[in-house]
Amino acid sequence: MKVLITGGAGFIGSHLAEACLKKGDEVYIIDDFSTGSPDNIRFFQEDERFRDRFFVTEDTILNQDTLLELTGICDVVFHLAAAVGVRYILENPLDAIRINIQGTEKVLEMCSKFKKKVLIASSSEVYGKHLHAPLIETDNIIYGPSSKFRWSYAASKLMDEFTALAYYRTKGLKVIIARLFNTIGPRQTGAYGMVVPRLAEQALKNEDLTVYGDGTQTRTFTDVSDVVRALIALTESEAAVGEVFNVGGTQEITISELAEKIIKATGSSSSVKLIPYNEAYEKDFEDMQRRVPGIEKIRQTVGFEPETDLDSILRRVIDFMAEKMDCVRIEK
């Protein structure tokens, strides 16, 4: 099988590339390295088991010629290239909207041209500011006003979903939409605001752990290897075509509890420091107070079950981070 992964040098994309290579696929990735990193894929480029089946194109998905060539070659497309992280979106609002909306439209157009099945990575952000749990795929959507840019990301991802479903309805394109909940694991960087790598790094440095708001907001974290397994299973299922799926875990935790867990797991002398949202992000920032996926639909359709518990994921993230920080120290 020939697989194209847009955003393949990103955190989730690189883990997906690894899983596809390990199951024998020929893997093509396109990444502009805006938030993806060469470090995430160096291993496959050097490993003799993989390097003859792994092809990297450094370009933006907005470049139609490149996309045309790569989509033509491959059997299935995983579209993961997107602006990532609330902080990145607030700092680069126009780029974020452009890459999410125009980029996805181009990917869909090319997939439609060559009749290639495509999985669109959407986000739990799409649900907006619900307080109930679990969130299910048919729930209504609640956003704040357009003056609050956090919601631009949610709206752009929702537009991606509508566009994909419109291609399915009007052109018969085989699309699958995966709403990814908070995914964590080795290789994720804290540079774009993601809480787990940020807190893990702070704890390893014995610095204060920056918990935003009052720390009572919750998230349900999922190991990247579980997410990758789900994405592959969805593309292998005919029943998944034309459908939207939550992809996530089951262990809900407050961010304060998460910080305490990380302090304990690292044996750090750090304390938790509460930072008001307007200092952490911007004035009048609205967070999502609660975010828990209902996963009955993906369970029923492809038998997906998250396998990795939060403590084991945190252990792997912390070990990865510790090793990376040692490397940095040695290089200096």
The nearest distance, CB 85 to ligand UDP, in angstroms, is 6
The nearest distance, CB 28 to ligand UDP, in angstroms, is 28
Contacting range for ligand UDP; rule: CB under 6 A; set: 48-56, 69-77, 205-213, 315-323: 205-213
User: Residue 255 interacts with ligand UDP (CB under 6 A)?
Assistant: yes
The amino acid sitting at 39 is: D
Query: What's the gap between Cα 209 and its chain centre?
Result: 23
Q: What are 195's two structure tokens?
A: 């809480």
- Output the DSSP codes for 93-160: HHHHHIIIIIIHHHHHHHHHHHT-EEEEEEEGGGGBS--SSSB-TT---B---TTSTHHHHHHHHHHH
User: Residue 221 interacts with ligand UDP (CB under 6 A)?
Assistant: no
User: Residue 210 interacts with ligand UDP (CB under 6 A)?
Assistant: yes
**Kind of pairing, strands 272-275 and 209-212?**
parallel
Cβ-based nearer residue to ligand UDP, 90 or 111: 90
User: Residue 260 interacts with ligand UDP (CB under 6 A)?
Assistant: no
Question: Of these, 211, 228, 314, 318, which contacts ligand UDP (CB under 6 A)?
Answer: 211
Contact between 178 and 301 under an 8 Å Cβ cutoff? The reply is no
User: Residue 217 interacts with ligand UDP (CB under 6 A)?
Assistant: yes
Distance from C-alpha of 212 to C-alpha of 281, rounded to nearest angstrom: 9
User: Residue 194 interacts with ligand UDP (CB under 6 A)?
Assistant: yes
Contacting range for ligand UDP; rule: CB under 6 A; set: 2-10, 93-101, 194-202, 292-300: 194-202
User: Residue 193 interacts with ligand UDP (CB under 6 A)?
Assistant: yes
* Helix runs in the chain, H state only: 11-22, 42-46, 64-73, 86-91, 93-97, 104-114, 150-171, 195-204, 224-235, 255-266, 277-280, 296-302, 310-331
Contact between 307 and 227 under an 8 Å Cβ cutoff? The reply is no
User: Residue 317 interacts with ligand UDP (CB under 6 A)?
Assistant: no
Total number of residues that touch ligand UDP (CB under 6 A): 14
Catalytic choice (153, 167, 168, 281): 153
Beta-bridge partner residues of 28: 4, 55
User: Residue 182 interacts with ligand UDP (CB under 6 A)?
Assistant: yes
User: Is 153 a catalytic site residue?
Assistant: yes
The nearest distance, CB 153 to ligand UDP, in angstroms, is 9
Binding site for ligand UDP (CB under 6 A): 85-86, 182, 193-195, 198, 210-212, 217, 219, 255, 287
Active site residues: 153
